Amino acid sequence: MRKFALIAVKIAISAILLYFATRRINLDTIGERLSRLEPGWIAAAITISVVQTGLVAIRWRRIALLCGAPLSAPQAIRFNLIASFFSQVLPSTIGGDAARILLLARTGAGWWPATYSVLLDRFIGVLALAALVTAGLYWSFGLIESPVGRLVLLGIGCGSLLGGVVFLALGHWAVLTRWTFTRRLAEMAVLARQLLFSRASSPFIVLSSLLIHLMTALTAWAVAQAIAAQLGSSMRLS
């Protein structure tokens, strides 16, 4: 009876979250748009997203193991799928990250190792995105005519990379080990350097992180093809 009640509560919470997420959506408009979709491109987008979710889970597992948090591949995939749901129905991705920390900590991994693994996974993802943004500035500037827009994009890319370098350097500052909060930051910085510069983990971490972001762009492109969106160099931001 207790198990049934728990399932009922989960279903009720899911239904409430879905209601708040969809209550302002015009279903008639969506139905009209869906009737013109190209199924092949939608299937391609879904396939890429599923593969991407699995790749994110595998990367997180590598990070979690280094942080001292035992995590099997099936657990990583399952937890990541659950986190994806919360990331969709809650603001930003904080809900999904909190879900991953909670689920991993409840397996016996411990709160700090679980927290380290998720925060470092997020850090590496943002760092890879900043690297791609910076590398693509030449082509991005060709699409953005506004000087302010170009400056903002430059600041986001280079500023994020600079922030990443500063974070990685925290592990060298012995003074940070005097206080609990700063000691945790220093420990994460040391782990981040191991992930990014170790021969055992660096190639997979770096390549998978870049591939994950490229798959996001590829998914968006497939969806654009499904709705016959007009994409090209003529699209400029002023």
Contact present, 201 and 194 (Cβ < 8 Å): yes
Nearby residues of 89 by Cβ (< 8 Å), 6 or more positions away = 17, 18, 20, 21, 95
- How many C-beta atoms lie closer than 10 Å to residue 41's C-beta? 17
> When comparing pLDDT for 127 and 31, which is higher?
127
What percent of the chain shows pLDDT beyond 70? 93
Overall residue count recorded for the chain in this entry:
238
3-state secondary structure at position 237: strand
Q: What is the pLDDT of residues 47-85, one digit of tens each?
A: 999 999 999 999 999 999 998 889 999 999 999 988 888
Name the residue ranges covered by the structural domains of the chain: 38-226
Q: Would you give the distance in Å from CA 171 to the centre of its chain?
A: 24
Cβ-contact 188, 119 below 8 angstroms: yes
Q: Which two tokens stand for residue 81?
A: 């799928």
What confidence score (pLDDT) does residue 90 get? 67
Query: Do 195 and 124 contact (CB within 8 A), yes or no?
Result: yes
The first and second tokens of residue 147, run together, are 């000087």
Strand, coil or helix: 30: helix
Predicted TM-score (pTM) of the model is 0.78
Structure tokens that stand for 117 in this block: 């693994």
Pick from 8-17, 86-95, 162-171 the range whose average pLDDT is largest: 162-171
- Tell whether the model's pLDDT for residue 227 goes beyond 60: yes
